Structure 1
């Protein structure tokens, strides 16, 4: 009996990969493995639990117990479409440390564990990713990062219809696809996305867009605040951390947070007073998820953007596991 671990993202392609393994290796030990950012769309959880039930496969859920915005506050660094620290820390590192070193993260949950055929599901396991031919650039890096595990990507090697796989089990696709998103990650808030993606979020879920826009503003101001020499050197205490942490955790806006949001334009004009970049040069613009445009600017000029700039997480490509 062989071990098979499907990296189960909550997307249609990873479901198809799970169906492929279930169909071809029905007598083997199969596990659905989901690393949770705690920032997902509510319907993603409906989908993964329903999938586990109908596939009759066990699902292991791991999490660091923090969201991407909380991680950004902790690191004093804004993840963006050039550097995806959130996917690296909350997904790649969590899974690599567990499968390679046996390190269990802060949060562990099981669903349908009784379907496990052996408690040793890691030894000599084959890992499966729902990567299709349109993402073949991810194949090489993923396989390299996961050595010595064998890595298989069924959607590259076989002709598989995602919608047919869902229909086979009578499972409704995640609602993010109904909203024309290209993936089901982070409720449309993936910071590695582009202008077209965020424009779609603005049109389909304005409430979530506006919440994300405020988080971008507050985290940016917090990072610049922390770059003041006296704060960096510990000569003055960080008097913003608690307010910012509470805001990204609960949405509660203290007087300090309200001041930041009410005076964004004023603060932008004073950027030269609030920190320097890595080269020691004055910071002339806020930190943003996208390189060329903040969400605030996109919201004000939603039509003037590159609708083909979609972007996406691309997990397990950038992470080096040699530690």
Structure 2
């Protein structure tokens, strides 16, 4: 009996792949595998659990226990459209550690484990040779194929939607499953509640128009993380000679939304800090950092909100999960 592991992102394509694998290998061991960033849309969870129920397939849930903003604060690095370390640390790395080395992340749960036909044991002899891993990559994302196969060698890597053009909506209808709501809101993927750090200007403009509450939350997080990074760039803090007096306030805000007086002050002066750069922000050479850090190219979310008409609506972007796991992180 072979193992078929489907990297189940919560998107329509990964659901179609799960359907195809079940149709073709009904007697084999099939597992939906979901890695949680804890930053997903509420409806994504409805979708993945409903999918597991209706496909009658077991789902393995893994989670590191951190959100992307929490991870950015810990690393003192603002992920962006060029470097999205969150997908690497929260999705790719725990998956690779588990399936290649048998190392479990902080949180593991099973859903519908009664449908499991054989135990998953990555440390057993022959596991890699007896296991195929599947990704919902379509023909329009063929540029991701090579990197994914390289990262997941020696596993047999399958991407059936590259060769087969299938209407995902029709597959959802077969099981009477409502598609994730982010697609109805005009997003091209179902990642991170429409606030993927690798998204572009057009993507974030759509978030502003369709879910202003979430936009305001992620805008404030961008401001706080950016200013925190500038603060920690000061040589005496970077060298550990002075205490970091901001981390606890920043981490509490990113974790709970609670705004201390320090956080409120930074948010109230966001425009001033962006233009004058007088409070924080000297680099190791004593020179001021001339502009705030931002998720998208050329502008912050604060600037996009003020001048949305001037953004590039065709700059959509998006996360390329499982593509650059082996690559080095580029720091500021």
The normalised TM-score by structure 2 is: 0.94
**Following superposition, which runs of at least 4 residues in structure 1 exceed 4 angstroms of deviation?**
276-281
Secondary structure of the equivalent of 1:303?
helix
- Per-residue CA deviations over 1:172-224 (Å, capped at 9, x if unaligned) read 00000000100000000000000000000000000000110000000000011
Residue segments in structure 1 that go unaligned for 5+ positions in a row: none
Deviation of residue 277 (structure 1)?
5.0
- Per-residue CA deviations over 1:65-118 (Å, capped at 9, x if unaligned) read 010000000000001000011111000101011110111001111100111100
Q: Which residue of 2 aligns with 1:52?
A: 52
The answer to whether residue 286 in structure 2 is matched with residue 275 in structure 1 is no
Aligned positions, number:
322
Distance 2:162 2:198 in 1: 23
The normalised TM-score by structure 1 is: 0.97
The correspondence of residues 136-151 of structure 1 with structure 2, limited to 5 A, is: 136-151=142-157
Distance 2:293 2:284 in 1: 13
The answer to whether residue 220 in structure 2 is matched with residue 220 in structure 1 is no
Shift in CA distance, 155/281, structure 1 to aligned 2, threshold 3 Å: farther
Residue segments in structure 2 that go unaligned for 5+ positions in a row: none
Q: Which residue of 2 aligns with 1:95?
A: 95
Secondary structure of the equivalent of 2:110?
strand
Distance 1:50 1:132 in 2: 23
Secondary structure of the equivalent of 2:50?
helix
- CA-based RMSD: 1.5
CA contact (8 A) 2:30 2:116 kept: yes
Q: Which residue of 2 aligns with 1:320?
A: 326
CA contact (8 A) 1:3 1:121 kept: no
Q: Which residue of 2 aligns with 1:125?
A: 131
Secondary structure of the equivalent of 1:35?
strand
The correspondence of residues 1-323 of structure 1 with structure 2, limited to 5 A, is: 1-120=1-120, 122=122, 123=127, 124-271=130-277, 274-277=280-283, 281-320=287-326
CA contact (8 A) 1:145 1:321 kept: no
Distance 1:254 1:284 in 2: 26
Distance 1:277 1:129 in 2: 42
Deviation of residue 268 (structure 1)?
2.2
